[in-house]
Structure 1
Amino acid sequence: MTRVDTAEAEQREAGRRDPGSRTWRAGIRRAIRIVFRPGPWKRGPVLAALALLLGLLMLLHAQITDRGGLGSLVETFLPWFGLFIPVLLAGALWRRSASAVAALLLPVTVWLNLFGGLLGDKSHSGGDLTVASHNVGADNPDPAGTARDLAASGADVLALEEITPQSKPLYEKGLARAYPYHTVQGTVGLWSKLPLSDTEPVDIKMDYGPLADTKPVDMKMAYSRALRSTVATDQGPLAVYVAHLGSVRVFPRNGFWTDSRDRGAKALAEAVATEPNERVVLLGDLNGTMDDRAFDGITSQLHSVQDKAGDGFGFSWPTKFPVARIDQILVRGVEPTSAWSLPATGSDHLPVAAGISW
């Protein structure tokens, strides 16, 4: 045994004989850790940084580049960014980080400012007219059943999107008794309990782009995907637009492809801008949420019934687990009294409805 080993053995033996000395050394080490341990304001710098980035992302979402559709993609799912807040809060509490908790005030404030108004029920009784809209789905296995469900909804004015040549006779037959007036233009249609007039298609500049090879031939042939009509009500004429804007997809080469949808939104905004009737309702599958910058031209003229009179976010797609409201009812010159979703049909979209009042 070397001299060093002998000294260490003697120290260990001394420690066993003198437990107070061992306790004293442990106390010294504990005191050193306490002195040099970061305080609550210095813990969790990564969590604090992530909280600030989340808040800035939601606050400055309109400044995000839309190259590759990035801005539209973020804005489509913007409400869901709030789910990161409790995750970061749990991490901050686990780390006992006061700085991270304080930093979370930014995303909480921004999220509540953007979406807090949607959390309560803003509907109220009354209403002169009930309108509804439904993307019935080109692959709907039961168009006749869907027609029966929609006829039982009690809507006075009903808009359908994605009508195929094969399903058109089934919807016309199933809705005939409840709605004596109707018009179908391409893949969109309008059924009404009140007389219709001045019906015409609206050119929304459809371009299937990368989706061209995925669309059935009959869907591409039915080029018209928007219409405008006048509904004769007891309170006067009501201009009704029905639209099904272009699809959006995520492609490896194209990113979040929204070109056709965006062109359609611009054309639709221009059509509404030239509408002489002061009372306007827009119904349809717009393939986007109203937080998306692509709809600024529309939302500057019309307001969403869900924002004014809905209960919650009113997500409408997909049916099994709705994550976004892409089926819209927007109005001008009338006041929404309530907004809700109807029960699911054979489509991958939920029908949406609203009561409006003069």
Structure 2
Amino acid sequence: LRFQVGLALGLAAFCLVAARSWRFAVVACLACASAVVPALGWPPSDRLAAPGSASLRVMSINLEMDVADEALVIEALRTTDPDVLVLQEYTPAWARRLKGRFSDSLPHRVERPRDDAFGIAAFSRQPWLRVDELTLGGSLAPQLRLELELASTRVVLYALHLLPPRTSLYTAHRAQCADLLERLARESKYVMAAGDFNLVDHTAVGREIHRLGFLDAHGVAGTGRGATWPVNGPLRFVPGIRIDHIYLGRGITSTAAWVGGNTGSDHLPIACDVTLARE
């Protein structure tokens, strides 16, 4: 929320200028700049791609249950042409809509549809080497731990949708985060985690993910703030935040990352090209 705080400080500075309170206006302007400028982009990454390494295109979409528009989702998939697709809020209706679609490009599917907001699915161009369903922090919402191959290297992919940190779910969200951090800490190199994390990088959990050696693909190879939510409703008029991520562990990097167009969901899709990093 650093960017939003910076904008609030900018508004305060404007009001102070109007009130001719010059000293406080200068302080507010400096505070505004210190908050807004770093949030406009990401620090440069020194995690470079290994020369000649093959790549995978990874995409993640939160469908907002049955709110996302089928035609817009299909068009986003055709345009992006991912090698790996992670879907959150995957309902039985979406399972029916996507049955038989993209069977040539994404034939290998792990689907856990639900009638609530916590169905999940992962599609792949290549066969999964291993599939594990798991839960985090005692929550019954299914998450996926998958293994696949990238440039002759076995890579782990976590497909995730964490609970939102609302008042009634805050404790459960924190328990999920703690469990996820423990799991990520036990993994070796070559791990990705993609989905709707319901948290931003500047939270304590986001900082801990980075401390474990994970980088957001958008921070490595994207441009701009990369905000993904909210797209719909009254909050769409305020600057958004990035709560959807594709985190890349040690040994993996990205050569391109971007935020997709509106699919009708309250989240924007994200995608990146992933490759092995230079040792």
Shorter chain as denominator, the TM-score bin is: 0.7 to 0.9
Length-normalised TM-score, structure 2: 0.81
How far, CA to CA, are the matches of 1:230 and 1:275 in structure 2? 12
Contact kept, 8 Å, 1:185 with 1:201, in 2: the verdict is no
Q: CA deviation at 1:258?
A: 1.8
Q: Does 1:263 align with 2:180?
A: no
Q: Does 1:195 align with 2:127?
A: yes
Closer/same/farther in 2, CA of residues 151 and 273 from structure 1, 3 Å limit: farther
Q: Quick one: which amino acid aligns to residue 149 of structure 1?
A: A
Q: CA deviation at 1:161?
A: 1.0
Determine which of 237, 245, 257 is the counterpart of 1:328. 245
Aligned-partner SS, 1:166: helix
How far, CA to CA, are the matches of 1:96 and 1:224 in structure 2? 54
Determine which of 234, 249, 266 is the counterpart of 2:151. 234
Determine which of 93, 98, 103 is the counterpart of 1:176. 103
Identity of counterpart residues, as a percentage?
24
Q: State the match for 1:14 in structure 2.
A: none
Contact kept, 8 Å, 2:90 with 2:112, in 1: the verdict is no
Closer/same/farther in 2, CA of residues 292 and 92 from structure 1, 3 Å limit: same
Determine which of 263, 271, 274 is the counterpart of 1:345. 263
Q: Does 1:104 align with 2:22?
A: no
How far, CA to CA, are the matches of 2:68 and 2:241 in structure 1? 23
Q: Which runs of 5+ in 2 are unaligned?
A: 114-118
Write the deviation string for residues 32-89 of structure 1: whole angstroms up to 9, x where unpaired. Answer: xxxxxxxxxxxxxxxxxxxxxxxxxxxxxxxxxxxxxxxxxxxxx3320111233233
Contact kept, 8 Å, 1:147 with 1:175, in 2: the verdict is no
Contact kept, 8 Å, 2:62 with 2:89, in 1: the verdict is yes
Q: Quick one: which amino acid aligns to residue 328 of structure 1?
A: H
Q: CA deviation at 1:285?
A: 0.6
Closer/same/farther in 2, CA of residues 282 and 298 from structure 1, 3 Å limit: same
Q: Quick one: which amino acid aligns to residue 78 of structure 1?
A: R
Contact kept, 8 Å, 1:241 with 1:283, in 2: the verdict is yes
How far, CA to CA, are the matches of 1:151 and 1:261 in structure 2? 34
Equivalence map 1:134-149=2 (5 Å): 134-140=61-67, 142-143=69-70, 146-149=73-76
The structure with more strand, counted as a fraction of residues: 2
Q: Does 1:289 align with 2:187?
A: no
Contact kept, 8 Å, 1:243 with 1:283, in 2: the verdict is yes
Q: Quick one: which amino acid aligns to residue 138 of structure 1?
A: M
Aligned-residue CA RMSD (Å): 2.9
Q: Does 1:245 align with 2:125?
A: no
Contact kept, 8 Å, 2:150 with 2:275, in 1: the verdict is no
Aligned-partner SS, 1:347: coil
Closer/same/farther in 2, CA of residues 106 and 281 from structure 1, 3 Å limit: same
Q: CA deviation at 1:307?
A: 2.1
Contact kept, 8 Å, 2:137 with 2:177, in 1: the verdict is no
Which one has a bigger Cα radius of gyration? Answer: 1
Length-normalised TM-score, structure 1: 0.64
Q: CA deviation at 1:317?
A: 1.3
Q: Quick one: which amino acid aligns to residue 173 of structure 1?
A: G
Q: State the match for 2:230 in structure 1.
A: 318
Q: Which runs of 5+ in 1 are unaligned?
A: 1-76, 208-222
Contact kept, 8 Å, 2:87 with 2:195, in 1: the verdict is yes
Aligned-partner SS, 2:81: coil
Contact kept, 8 Å, 1:204 with 1:263, in 2: the verdict is yes
Contact kept, 8 Å, 1:265 with 1:298, in 2: the verdict is no
Q: CA deviation at 1:309?
A: 2.0
Aligned-partner SS, 1:173: coil
